Structure 1
Amino acid sequence: MLHKTLPLIAAGMIATTPAFAQTDIPFTLDWRFEGPSAPYFLAIDNGHFADAGLDVEISAGEGSLDAIPKVATGAFPIGFADINSLIRFLDQNPGAPVTAVMMIYDSPPFSIVGRKSLGINGIEDLEGSTLGAPPPDGAWAQFPILAAVNGIDASTITVEPVGFPTREPSLAEGTVDSVTGFNFSSYLSAARLGVPEDDLTTILFADHGVKLYGNAIIVNTDYAAANPEIVTAFLGAVVDGVRDALADPAAGAAAVIARNPAGDVDLETRRLQMALDANIATVYALENGMGDIDPARMAEALEQMTIVYDFQNAPDASLYFTDAYLPPAEERSLAQ
């Protein structure tokens, strides 16, 4: 486990911020209100945050590069963001008061979604194909790692720089053979555009040697140091929300749609189920309780990141993640 030493807290400060007083917590997501955000809304609707003495208000985001500065500046004490983006942010902004405290996507959603009818049945078919990739896409940013780990000759791949709005339409129209994206987004978007699901294949980076982690709960470290009990209570309520989502994904999607009436409850149920199955309730999380990381894997992930990113400072895993605020492992069990 990775630890960061918590500073001593004066008795007077503890008295002013009791762990179970009704405490307002603004919480920023990295994206819109969609299926994978259901655990946080279930934690509100099912009283888990309230039982922890927290009044949580959830805000949508515009990507991890939006969420991370919000937390680092203290505009939000807690947020949700991609840890790989956080690692780069901290490398470029040494000493910024932000770190990850609970891993949610133990397996990142980075993937390639292709069409079997266009020759993409698996990773071995990428060479010689046409790949659609939005330049700012998170999965595209990590593609060189996938290629390096699997010996893919990327020079044989024709890369079409598509926009996010045209990514799945390009796949549906057959102008590209596959696209980079998230497993729970690009697949469903292509299917909704009429691509038969038995014609779609998903190449999840994590299934092919990429050791990176995905999105995590992040905190402002100044806030967390002054309010450790509040942060731990928040994380415990999130675990309860994940358990609720696992038990009833449809209820989770309904909780999302209550805040996003323009959404489709059936679509978000499927999106949530895909995130739970592939990204959250992984073998590691089921065996060890959700939220923590494997230090050996993190070391490998940082080494792989050097393929796509030139660190300005020596990588230091303790800057990017701490388990100091996690509830005990038995309280993070996903067993129903």
Structure 2
Amino acid sequence: MFGFKTIAIRGLLALSIWHCAPMACDAAETATPSVPVQLTFDRPLDASMAPFFVAAKNGSFGGEHLAVSFKTAAGSPEALARVARGESELALVDINELIRFRDKADAAPIKAVFVLFNRAPYAIIARRSRGIHLLSDLDGKTVGVADGDLSIRLWPALAQQNRIDTSRVKFHGISAAVREPILSAGQVDAITGFTYLSAVNLRDRGVPASDLTVLRFADYGCEAYGFAVVANPAFAAAKPDAVKGFVRALIAGINATVRDPARAVDEVMSRKDDGELELERLRLRTVLADNVLTEEVKRNGLGGVDPARLERSIDQIAQDFKFRKRPAASDVFDGRFLPPVEGRLIN
């Protein structure tokens, strides 16, 4: 009798396994495969990119069935070119450079799908000891401008808006490698750059914060947005759900970065060959306060734009850049990939 029961149980187990096996196979076959996505940063890695690496580390990208890899380029034009050629599906670039890019006769119709920097990081960083406290104090001063600097391209609009006589400000072309050193050495009175790069780097060079004046363009009427994620048009059209998933994962990465910035910086440092931990922590705090967590973002959520503000920022670019055909805000930003506002609010 015992033997009969054993045989019966074994038979039932076998039958159970036989029925379950096809379901297991079906589940494996229907599992959503990961979509490969390459994101190109337009510059070497730093703490401002922390949300992307946090999203990769904590599984947010994987949870959206995305296999995200990262590369760097030598500036926004190169990153945009890679996206245009389809070498990268996405890139993080200066949205103002995207606006200029779209003016080319043969430009691919690349659009931004998520704005990371609600406020551009453009600034003039000056020495208080040279008598510079306000933008108007640049009268008669010498400002160092590095090759390829993006801040200087909005200077004409800023100067006009603040009634600065541009003939009274001398701009001195320099190499990007010596931008901070020549200011710390006193060879110029100020430099143009980004708040979270030049201003932070100068403190690392021994210039006390009390001797630095950071003249943020945004504080003087510049309405430009900053860095944004742009998408290859063909990829966005073929795999819109992948772009939407990337945006959701990035939002999760931003929220995680805001909750634990120290851990976020650690994740960046694990991917860098060099860099100083405390410097990168200061860099991230600066970015979050100045560029990401603005009052507009707190009201309207991450990632989007105010179309009227974007239009005005394009007008400001036009004071230095001669458009063949001025693009509209809708030519630059595509909000279809954003989740509803409630899914974009800072937790």
**Residue 132 (structure 2) aligned to one of 103, 114, 120:** 120
Aligned to 1:69: 81
For residue 41 of structure 2, the aligned residue among 25, 29, 33 is 29
Tell whether the 8 Å contact from 1:52 to 1:234 is kept in structure 2 after alignment.
yes
Of 72, 81, 87 in structure 1, the residue corresponding to residue 99 of structure 2 is 87
Query: How far apart, in 2, do the equivalents of 1:248 and 1:139 lie?
Result: 30
**8 Å contact 2:311–2:328 — kept in the other structure?**
no
Find the structure with the greater CA-based Rg.
Answer: 2
Amino acid at match of 1:205: F
Supply the distance in 1 between the matched residues of 2:254 and 2:287 (Cα, whole angstroms): 11
CA distance in 1, matches of 2:171, 2:189: 10
Corresponding residue for residue 216 of structure 1: 228
- How does 1:22-61 map onto structure 2 within 5 Å? 22-61=34-73
Superposed CA deviations along residues 115-145 of structure 1, whole A, max 9, x for unmatched, are: 1011111212111111111142011122112
> What code does the residue aligned with 1:193 have?
R
Is 1:148 paired with 2:160? Answer: yes
The one of 161, 186, 192 aligned to 2:198? 186
Query: Kindly tell me: are residues 20 and 132 of structure 1, through their superposed partners in 2, closer, same or farther at Cα, counting changes over 3 Å?
Result: farther
1:169 is matched with which residue: 172, 176, 181? 181
Which residue does 2:110 correspond to in 1?
98
User: What corresponds to 1:249 in structure 2?
Assistant: 261
SS at match of 1:92: coil
Percent of aligned pairs sharing the same letter: 36
| Equivalent residue in structure 2 for 1:279, among 267, 278, 291 | 291
3-state SS in 1 of match to 2:146: coil
More helix by share: 2
C-alpha distance in structure 1 between counterparts of 2:278 and 2:256, whole Å:
17
Name the CA shift for 1:261/1:140 in 2 (closer, same or farther; >3 Å). same
- AA paired with 2:274? A
What is the Cα deviation at residue 73 of structure 1? 1.1
- 1:139 corresponds, among 143, 147, 151, to 151
Note the alpha carbon deviations across 1:12-61, whole angstroms, 9 max, x for none: xxxxxx99532211111111110001100000111111111111111122
Three-state SS of the structure 1 residue aligned to 2:102 is helix
Are the equivalent residues in 1 in contact too, given 2:153–2:317 (CA < 8 A)? no
Deviation at 1:86, TM superposition (A): 0.7
Report whether the alignment pairs 1:157 with 2:169. yes
Cα distance in 2, alignment partners of residues 171 and 35 from structure 1? 23
Partner of 1:14: none
**Gapped runs of 5+ residues in structure 1?**
1-17
Structure 1 position 109 matched with structure 2 position 121: yes
> So what's the TM-score if we normalise by structure 1?
0.92
Cα RMSD of the aligned pairs, angstroms, is 1.4
CA separation of 1:63 and 1:19: change in aligned 2, threshold 3 A: farther
Match of 1:230 in 2: 242
Counterpart mapping for 1:192-207 below 5 A: 192-207=204-219
Of 315, 318, 340, the residue aligned with 1:303 is: 315
Highest relative contact order (Cα 8 Å, sep 6+), 1 or 2? 1
**What secondary structure does 1:112 align onto?**
strand
Structure 2 residue runs of 5 or longer lacking an equivalent are: 1-29
2:336 is paired with a residue whose SS is coil
| Cα drift, residue 166 of structure 1 | 1.1
TM-score by length of 2: 0.89
Distance 1:20 1:249 in 2: 32
How far apart in 2 are the matches of 1:164 and 1:155? 24
Q: Deviations over 1:280-319 (max 9, x none)?
A: 1111111111111001101111111110100001322211
Aligned pairs, number: 318
Determine the structure 1 residue equivalent to 2:328: 316
